């Protein structure tokens, strides 16, 4: 797990053909907008959260964010425990995000 500044997080994603973006916020938070191409997996989902993580391809590179960077840091730690090799936390989360947000389809 690695904490990345927004600049580093975005530049890595742009160069990473195996990038998967995960939003671990709640449904209500996601309703306010989500980073484009992100997968929503609520960290408060308990076993459902674990099951959805386990269904992902662990060989990919995962870029995780939440509201402030705290829950996504926790999610990255959980992912490492589950055997994910590359999990990157967005420092400052969506509160410090300067890019665009889209509606979740």
Residues annotated as catalytic (active site), given as ranges: 66
- Give residues with Cβ within 8 angstroms of 66, minimum separation 6: 23, 24, 25, 29, 43, 72, 75, 93, 94
- Give residues with Cβ within 8 angstroms of 9, minimum separation 6: 63, 65, 88, 90, 91
């Amino acid at each position: 797990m690695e904490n990345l500044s927004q600049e580093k997080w975005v530049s890595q994603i742009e160069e990473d053909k195996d990038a998967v973006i995960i939003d671990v916020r709640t449904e209500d938070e996601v309703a306010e907008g989500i980073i484009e191409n992100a997968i929503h997996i609520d960290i408060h989902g308990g076993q459902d959260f674990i099951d959805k993580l386990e269904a992902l391809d662990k060989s990919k590179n995962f870029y995780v964010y939440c509201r402030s960077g705290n829950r996504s840091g926790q999610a990255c730690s959980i992912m490492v425990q589950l055997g994910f090799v590359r999990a990157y936390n967005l420092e400052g989360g969506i509160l410090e995000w300067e890019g665009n947000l889209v509606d979740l389809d």
